Amino acid sequence: MFKELISDKGISATGEGINETVNFLTGTLEKLLGANVEVIETAGSPTILADIKGNASETVLFYGHYDVMTPGNIEDWHTDPFVLTEKDNRFFGRGVGDNKGQLLAQILGMYSYKKVNGNFPFNIKFLIEGEEEQGSKNLPITVKKLADNKLKDVDFAIVVDGSFNQSGQHVLRLGNRGALGFEITATTGTQDNHSGNLGNIMQNPILVLMGVVQKMYDLKNKKVLIPNYYRGVNKPDAKEIAWMKKLPFDKSSITEQTGVKTLPATGLEYYEKLMFQPTFNIAGINSGYSEKGIKTIIPNQAIMKLDLRLVGDQDVYAIKKSIDELLETEINSGLIKINYLVTVPPCKTDSNNEHIASIVKAIKAATGSDLIEPVMPGTVPNYVWGDILKVDSFTIPYANFDQHNHAPNENLTQSAFYSGIKTTYELLNSI
């Protein structure tokens, strides 16, 4: 079963194997879980919606995605990326960790519960999308269409995706940072020109971008200058502080894994920066000449890519508007253009939510771990559950931290896979 799911590919960037993967999952959900399955067409890859009746009126939505990234350079893989390979107590193949293995663990956990208990304790909606690796472009559109009918009875959502805590321990995540990603292009001429001929005459587009950055960010004080940027940034409450203090913090391990040597003094400061503070990041700049030797030119164009990670109640759309207003002069003059690439609001479940205790109980019963991360530092589209369905969401990753997702030699440890099956079983047993 796992082998077939991996061999079906399901690459959302190219569409290769999407139909085969959908057909496999549709048949599996019907056969193993007795689900009523509908394939919902979108402008991109289809979404699978499985409806499984239970004994109680409560309805829980389980989310996953079936699409995978391209394998990249095949020569960098030790095994065929689309042939499931077992080696060193791990499964290797594209999608084993992100997210097909985690998806299959959910299905097998539900199947195990059904075989032991006969019926499910509550109604289950299983929503599986096929464009997560492309930014879930059609997920909010699909959820909006279903919100008042086929998903109207959902009480809360469980998202199974991502990796354990870097310590290797299982964890419950109550939210995630949002993201605003964009590129700014500065154009000062139709061609590159000699710096001797037009120095002081032609503007340098890199310096233009530097000026733009100075309007958005105070480098000395490390503060974002975008108007109202910090509106909605909230401090952690007492429970969240206690949870962060309990999270593992090993400086040497973090340095070894990332190469970063300058780290906060305490684990609390480290996690608070990652979970409760927004960021301003320049991801790259492309312009001019940077090869061997020197080429005395004034480039005619420079492109800078930025991403802002947002937290709490920050409004991604209001921030986007503030950027446009802040740079209005440069935009209107034609000196720069802004192209927004990613717009994902942050998402966070309240620390007093009534379901936290039972979910943690299930994870601990299956894995022995009771760690809680108030916010996931990365960005996933969980806002659709809160903003559109108006329900809380809980993220439970089933994959090992070193899964190498999106990279060559993606893997899922066998213990992680079987723990995922157990966790799903215990979730059905506890919530």
* pLDDT tens-digit readout, 141-187: 999 999 999 999 999 999 999 999 888 899 999 999 999 999 999 99
Model confidence at 74: pLDDT above 90: yes
Mean pLDDT of 91-117: 97
Q: List the domain boundaries for the chain.
A: 2-177+347-430, 178-233+277-344
The confidence score (pLDDT) of residue 28 equals 98
Separation of alpha carbons 33 and 330, rounded Å: 58
Answer whether residue 90 shows pLDDT above 90: yes
The reported pLDDT for the residue numbered 281 is: 97
Q: Report the share of the chain in percent with pLDDT over 70.
A: 100
Contacts of 284 (CB under 8 A, 6+ apart): 304, 305
User: Given this model, what pLDDT does residue 257 score?
Assistant: 78
- pLDDT (tens digit per residue) in 298-313: 999 999 999 999 999 9
205-220: pLDDT as tens digits? 999 999 999 999 999 9
| Nearest in space to 346 (alpha carbons), one of 373, 381, 320 | 381
Q: 127 - beta bridge partners?
A: 49, 63
- Please state the rounded mean pLDDT for residues 194-205: 96
Residue 77 neighbours by CB distance under 10 Å = 19
- Res 431: pLDDT: 86
Share of the chain above pLDDT 90, in %: 94
Label residue 204 left, alpha or beta by phi (over 0 means left) and psi (-120 to 50 means alpha).
beta
Question: Which of 278, 301, 280, 279 lies closest to 184 in space, CA to CA?
Answer: 301
pLDDT at 36 over 90: yes
351-362 per-position pLDDT tens digit:
999 999 999 999
Nearest to 315 by CA among 221, 227, 380: 227
H/E/C letters for each residue in the chain?
CHHHHHHCCCECCCCCCHHHHHHHHHHHHHHHHCCEEEEECCCCCCEEEEEECEEEEEEEEEEEECCECCCCCHHHCCCCCCCCEEECCEEECCCCCCCHHHHHHHHHHHHHHHHHHCCEEEEEEEEEECCHHHCCCCHHHHHHHHCCCCCCCCCEEEECCCECCCCCCCEEECEECEEEEEEEEEECCCCCEEHHHHCCCCCCHHHHHHHHHHHHEECCCCEECCCCCCCCCCCCCHHHHHHHHHCCCCHHHHHHHHCCCCCCCCHHHHHHHHHHCCCCEEEEEEECCCCCCCCCEECCEEEEEEEEEECCCCCHHHHHHHHHHHCHHHHHCCCEEEEEEEEECCEECCCCCCCHHHHHHHHHHHHCCCEEECCECCCCCCHHHHHHCCCEEEECCCECCCCCCCCCCCEEEHHHHHHHHHHHHHHHHHC
**pLDDT at res. 166:** 81
Q: How far is C-alpha 168 from the chain's CA centre?
A: 19
Length reported for the chain = 431
Q: Is the pLDDT at 258 greater than 90, yes or no?
A: no
CATH number for the domain running over 178-233+277-344? 3.30.70.360
pLDDT value at position 177?
Answer: 95
Mean pLDDT, all residues of the chain: 96
Task: Indicate whether this model's pTM tops 0.75.
Answer: yes
**C-alpha dihedral, 127 to 131 to 137 to 142, nearest 10°:** -30
pLDDT band at 283 (very low <50, low <70, confident <90, very high): very high
- Cα distance between residue 424 and residue 431, in whole Å: 11
Mean pLDDT, residues 267-284: 96
| CATH pick for 2-177+347-430 out of 3.40.630.10, 1.10.40.30, 3.40.50.620, 3.40.50.1860 | 3.40.630.10
| Residue in 159, 99, 160, 151 with CA at minimum distance from that of residue 125 | 151
- The Cα 404–Cα 55 span in angstroms is 40
Under 8 Å CB-to-CB from 226, ≥6 apart: which residues?
Answer: 216, 319, 322, 323, 326
Q: Would you state the pLDDT for residue 135?
A: 83
Say if CB 232 and CB 315 are below 8 A apart.
Answer: yes
With beta carbons less than 8 A apart as the criterion, state whether 425 and 62 touch: no
The model's confidence at residue 368, banded by pLDDT at 50, 70 and 90, is: very high
So what's the pLDDT on residue 253? 86
